[in-house]
Amino acid sequence: MSENNTRENNRRNAGHKKSAYEQLVQTLEDVKTEKISVRAAMHKLQFRDRPERPYAKVTKMGAVALFGITKEPIVLYEAHWKRLIKTVESGYLTKYMEYNAHRISHGKSSNHDEKEEATGVASVLASVFTEEVTADPNA
């Protein structure tokens, strides 16, 4: 048991992030020792830190992964991103969505203004190639 504690302390001191399993175990221990309430533990486990704005990474295969839009990253190769951006900038997608608005679900983030959402998609897609995007060595 003391060997595990030593390993855990070394890991903390080295600045490593805890794995999801280690975070879960720590949260359960905190509930058992009544350091936090069950409600606080559930809140801690359910809500992960999400990025404030979308960001991109280059994958090992050379594709561009866009994080922060959906639960899973949107991964496309450069040529596909450029075709998508061209389609959005042409106005086709916006017109199509306006025409079919009665059939389209707004998803969980339905509290945004529709016009703001439509222009937001174009700006996010355009920013993927206009901002400096570097490969994350941890990706």
Tell me the per-residue pLDDT of 26-65, one tens digit each, with 9 for 90 and over: 888 888 888 888 888 877 776 666 666 888 999 999 999 9
DSSP H helical ranges for the chain: 2-13, 20-32, 38-46, 78-90, 92-99, 114-130
Could you tell me which of 86, 78, 23, 31 has the C-alpha nearest to residue 56?
A: 78
* Alpha carbon distance 85, 83 (integer Å): 6
Phi-psi region of 103 (alpha: psi -120 to 50; beta: other; left: phi over 0): alpha
pTM of the model: 0.45
- What ranges do the domains of the chain cover? 2-46, 55-130
Q: Would you tell me the crossing angle of helices 20-32 and 38-46 to the nearest 10 degrees? A: 170
pLDDT digits (tens, 9 = 90+) for 47-56: 666 666 888 9
